[in-house]
Amino acid sequence: MSGIKTLGQFIIEKQADFPYAKGELSRLLRDIGIASKIVNREVNKAGLVDILGEAGTVNIQGEGQKKLDVFANLQFISALTSGGECCIVATEEEDEFVRIDSPVSKNAKYIVCIDPLDGSSNIDCNVAVGTIFSIYRRKSTEGEAVLSDVLQKGTEQVAAGYVIYGSSTMLVYTTGKGVNGFTLDPSIGEFCLSHPNMKIPEHGNIYSLNEGNYVHFPEGVKKYLKYVQVHDERTNRPYTSRYIGSMVADIHRNLIKGGIYIYPTTASSPNGKLRLLYECNPMAFIVEQAGGIASDGFRRIMEIEPSELHERSSIFIGSREMVTMAEGMMAEYSSEQDKHYGAVVGKVFQA
């Protein structure tokens, strides 16, 4: 046991990197870790209890909620409310942000944006799912926290992370000083440091996207797909296609092995489909800190100015060389209007 470093110990050791936080950020990360253990417990026994299937409700995105979506959402809101370190929780499952009105939280310094259960459409099939979170410092200094405190660029994040509930449960996070991964040891109930200073390979041979939507992809994405599928020994092509349909699982694999994850705009989703605040920004922060790149095909994800709570975006994220190649093809085969707005519409959707 002497060689084991728990998440709590690691956070305390790194607390000196944030003299302005005075321990609040450390306690906030601890609260998220505790809630993720509770969600992990329910995910692991989901087939034995009545928590699989549809909840019979629809979220703001118009997506049917699973029972585990609702459960995970409540657990994280409860943990963050009890902890008292954040004043607002913005979650994918709520129409509006949740203001925490307890006396302890009223003047809290932090905002948490969270996707409580990413990939939940796969939960009934026993496929890996996860939690994605992002932490910002509150901007306003007087009165109640407001929407503008939530609508910050990804560059303003002070921490971000994800939890993957798979064959083992891992929590991976960054505070802007590298990326570290912790594996849950069920025998002691603690996340233990297992992947220190994670780095994504500069290049990989895995590409991840839903090729079933090929006909609706921008021309630049189609050209990139043709490129990765061509035989070329010098560049080790064709690459391997791996798509789980759970963003956390796909990006976690590519973070370790190298690869690119693409969720582009389509004819039906001209602004993209993934949520900027809950999915794209936190994953971009993590991958950039691991040495990779994250863009919407034209712009750095973390420099996009959000204008609404549930704003959507396309995303190209992963190994530096692979994302750079895809961006080049997007720039070459997309119109000037596409490049300016980062939304692919019109002629590039011609089959």
Structure tokens at 22: 């005075």
**For residue 120, is pLDDT > 90?**
no
Please classify residue 106 by burial: count the beta carbons closer than 10 Å to its beta carbon, then call 0-12 exposed, 13-18 middle and 19+ buried.
Answer: middle
pLDDT tens per residue, range 263-295: 999 888 899 999 999 999 999 999 999 999 999
**What residues contact 147, with CB distance under 8 A and at least 6 apart?**
97, 309
Q: What is the pLDDT of residues 71-91, one digit of tens each?
A: 899 999 999 998 889 999 999
Q: Sign of dihedral through CA atoms 119, 124, 128, 131?
A: positive
Domain boundaries of the chain, sorted by first residue: 7-195, 206-349
Structure tokens at 102: 């307890």
pLDDT digit string, tens, across residues 173-195: 999 999 999 999 999 999 999 99
Residue that the structure tokens 């409540």 belong to? 74
pLDDT band at 110 (very low <50, low <70, confident <90, very high): very high
* For the ranges 27-36, 77-86, 155-164, 265-274, the one whose mean pLDDT is highest: 155-164
For residues 117 and 96, is the Cβ–Cβ distance under 8 A?
A: no
- Cα distance between residue 277 and residue 158, in whole Å: 13
Instruction: Assign a CATH topology to domain 7-195.
Output: Fructose-1,6-Bisphosphatase; Chain A, domain 1 (3.30.540)
What CATH architecture is 206-349? 3-Layer(aba) Sandwich (3.40)
